[in-house]
Amino acid sequence: MTPHPAIELAGIDKSFGAVHANKNINLTVAKGSIHGIIGENGAGKSTLMSILYGFYQADRGEIRIDGKPITIRDSQTAIASGIGMVHQHFMLVENFTVLENVMLGAEGGQLLAKGVAGARKELKRLEAEYGLDVDPDAIIEELPVGKQQRVEILKALYRGAEILILDEPTGVLTPAEADHLFRILKVLRDQGKTILLITHKLREIMAITDEVSVMRRGEMVATRKTAETTVEELAELMVGRRVLLRVEKGEAQPGKVLLSVKNLTVKDSRGVTMVDDVSFDVREGEILGIAGVAGNGQSELLEAIAGIRKPTSGEILIDGQPVAGLDPARLRELGLAHIPEDRHHMGLVLKFEEYENSVLGYHRDPRYGRGALLDLDAIRKDAEEKIAKYDIRPPNPRLKTANFSGGNQQKIVVAREIERDPKMLIIGQPTRGVDIGAIEFIHRRIVEMRDAQKAVLLVSVELDEIRSLSDRIIVMFAGKVVGEATPDAGEQALGMMMAGAV
């Protein structure tokens, strides 16, 4: 007798109002395998997984776990059926310790004291078995995202999960952290656990999954054995057309220096020096890429240039004019546009409707207002144009921004900043959590900006992205610029610099 598949979904259907997020989904996942799920932004991947985890309820359809049909009414039932989930946006209590987060909901009795000792022991065991090391007494908000994610995995394993769902786990990780995660996932699989992995990175799919399913516009369009498919085929299945997986661009035609940073030093709120005596120039008509492992001062550098954080010392010049310490509104007037690294904290107000976010920061523009009042019709019309041009889905300017999928949220920010036709564009992680079709689109826009003789400063932790877009690359490590390279520098050489080994 062949063992039952770990998961069987039959005819799952789910709508949010007018949005049909999942249409008649069928999916079978074998026990002890890593099953990838890919699809464009808004294809319905997170929705499907949230249904399996009991966070949402399907309108129709059946779920079978180990061959047994079950109704998953809430997360409690899902946990009891051995399903654990690491959400796209972590579900952690930030001012709690790791231990408290792991225990929450599985405390082992009315009093905490009883459970704590057991939980510590179990954490030790999980750490030893899977290489999931985190200090149980650390406070979540003080941990880097990679560690926070481990806490999420520990939460699931602590509850005895046999099926682990990971929703875009590598979006926020450094390459080294991602490698570590994959090692952990392989160990888990080899111990017979079943893993569902959502990702936009086809390379990861090829590297780690056994099977892969493709979703498009709410439908499950194909399932393939990973060994029998190619990146090109998957990309085409996802987007429904051929996708260019490289960036096409001509020679740069750099002009005069537009943005200049001189001996810039920035301290964070705790007084730690995050940017240490950094100098560089960005010319019009070129893309300067800043490579580096996350947390080496790139974020603070971007924030200082964008006027969000006051530099401690040093100069920032736009067109030779000192601008350090000016507020973001003034900088926008000077032609500086900023696509922030973190769309949720800085780029968008999630509770606003799409059209409100589409002009955020530029709402004082006379085009959008009549005196003290906003001209809502003009703003909505403008938003509709951006939606059409950037293919933002669903194409509804009145939808609350929180209800767009991550990639579409990113497109809202990109559209807002690029469509202003700024002189300079500074960009942090332009394609985090964005599907390949949209990546192709956003990359092309960035190159177009360069070709229109704009100065572009690009920060990304994705080495591939930096190498394929930049005309020049500088590498940051521990707050300092440790080297400069050309885009054809080998991955190895750049990697060494990023690790501070040069």
Nearest to ligand ATP of 146, 171 (CB atom): 171
**Beta carbon of residue 372, minimum distance to ligand ATP (angstroms, whole number):** 33
Nearest to other proteins of 161, 264 (CB atom): 161
**Beta carbon of residue 130, minimum distance to other proteins (angstroms, whole number):** 21
**Beta carbon of residue 93, minimum distance to other proteins (angstroms, whole number):** 5
- Cα Rg of the chain (Å, integer): 24
**Beta carbon of residue 411, minimum distance to other proteins (angstroms, whole number):** 17
**Beta carbon of residue 16, minimum distance to ligand ATP (angstroms, whole number):** 3
Nearest to Mg ion of 88, 260 (CB atom): 88
- At 40, give phi and psi (nearest 5°): -65, 170
User: Could you say which of 362, 404, 441, 477 contacts ligand ATP (CB under 6 A)?
Assistant: 404
**CA neighbor of 404 nearest in space, from 453, 447, 461, 358:** 358
Q: Are strands 7-16 and 313-318 parallel, antiparallel or unpaired?
A: unpaired
Choosing among Mg ion, ligand ATP, other proteins, none, which partner's interface includes residue 226 (Cβ < 5 to 8 Å by kind)?
Answer: none
Is residue 47 a contact point for Mg ion (CB under 5 A)?
Answer: no
Choosing among other proteins, Mg ion, ligand ATP, none, which partner's interface includes residue 93 (Cβ < 5 to 8 Å by kind)?
Answer: other proteins
- Torsion angle of the four alpha carbons 190, 193, 196, 202, in this order, in degrees rounded to the nearest 10: -10
> What are the C-alpha distances in Å from 417 to residues 272, 369, 430, 454?
31, 19, 12, 13
Q: Give me the count of residues in the chain.
A: 502
> What are the C-alpha distances in Å from 237 to residues 203, 223, 240?
15, 10, 5
What is the footprint of Mg ion within residues 86-115 (CB under 5 A)?
Answer: 88
Residue with structure tokens 């936009």?
A: 200
Query: How far is Cα 441 from Cα 459, in angstroms, rounded to an integer?
Result: 18
Nearest to other proteins of 100, 122 (CB atom): 100
Query: How far is Cα 20 from Cα 337, in angstroms, rounded to an integer?
Result: 35
Query: How far is Cα 103 from Cα 105, in angstroms, rounded to an integer?
Result: 6
> What are the C-alpha distances in Å from 452 to residues 171, 305, 388, 430, 499?
30, 22, 22, 19, 34
Nearest to other proteins of 113, 501 (CB atom): 113
**Beta carbon of residue 218, minimum distance to ligand ATP (angstroms, whole number):** 7
Enumerate binding residues for other proteins (CB under 8 A).
46, 50, 53, 55-56, 74-80, 85, 87-89, 91-96, 100-101, 103-107, 109-113, 115, 155, 402-403
**Beta carbon of residue 12, minimum distance to ligand ATP (angstroms, whole number):** 12
Is residue 46 a contact point for ligand ATP (CB under 6 A)?
Answer: yes
**How many chain residues interact with Mg ion (CB under 5 A)?**
2
DSSP state of 403: G
Is residue 229 a contact point for Mg ion (CB under 5 A)?
Answer: no
Q: Judged by CB under 6 A, which stretch of 40-48, 201-209, 224-232, 271-279 contacts ligand ATP? A: 40-48
What is the footprint of ligand ATP within residues 182-211 (CB under 6 A)?
Answer: none
Q: For residue 5, is the peptide bond before it cis, meaning its omega torsion is within 30 degrees of 0?
A: no
Is residue 406 a contact point for ligand ATP (CB under 6 A)?
Answer: yes
Choosing among ligand ATP, Mg ion, other proteins, none, which partner's interface includes residue 89 (Cβ < 5 to 8 Å by kind)?
Answer: other proteins
Query: How far is Cα 196 from Cα 30, in angstroms, rounded to an integer?
Result: 10
What is the CA angle 194-200-203, rounded to 5? 80
Choosing among other proteins, Mg ion, ligand ATP, none, which partner's interface includes residue 41 (Cβ < 5 to 8 Å by kind)?
Answer: ligand ATP
User: Could you say which of 12, 25, 34, 43 contacts ligand ATP (CB under 6 A)?
Assistant: 43
Contacts of residue 380, Cβ cutoff 8 Å, sequence gap at least 6: 355, 397, 398
- At 43, give phi and psi (nearest 5°): -70, -20
Dihedral class, residue 349 (left if φ above 0, else alpha if ψ from -120 to 50, else beta): beta
Nearest to other proteins of 50, 213 (CB atom): 50
Contacts of residue 345, Cβ cutoff 8 Å, sequence gap at least 6: none
**Beta carbon of residue 431, minimum distance to Mg ion (angstroms, whole number):** 14
User: How many C-beta atoms surround the C-beta of residue 322 within 10 A?
Assistant: 12
Nearest to other proteins of 16, 232 (CB atom): 16
Inter-axis angle of helices 112-130 and 175-190, nearest 10: 100
Nearest to other proteins of 90, 368 (CB atom): 90
Is residue 226 a contact point for ligand ATP (CB under 6 A)?
Answer: no
Residue number of the CB closest to Mg ion reads 46
Query: How far is Cα 406 from Cα 423, in angstroms, rounded to an integer?
Result: 27
**How many chain residues interact with ligand ATP (CB under 6 A)?**
20
> What are the C-alpha distances in Å from 330 to residues 70, 121, 225, 319?
58, 55, 54, 14
Nearest to ligand ATP of 88, 149 (CB atom): 88
What is the footprint of ligand ATP within residues 422-461 (CB under 6 A)?
Answer: 435
**Beta carbon of residue 168, minimum distance to ligand ATP (angstroms, whole number):** 6
What is the footprint of ligand ATP within residues 10-39 (CB under 6 A)?
Answer: 16, 19, 21, 39
DSSP state of 75: H
What is the footprint of ligand ATP within residues 341-400 (CB under 6 A)?
Answer: 393-394
Residue with structure tokens 């074998």?
A: 30
Is residue 46 a contact point for Mg ion (CB under 5 A)?
Answer: yes
| Contacts with Mg ion, residue ranges (CB under 5 A) | 46, 88
| Contacts with ligand ATP, residue ranges (CB under 6 A) | 16, 19, 21, 39, 41-47, 88, 393-394, 403-407, 435
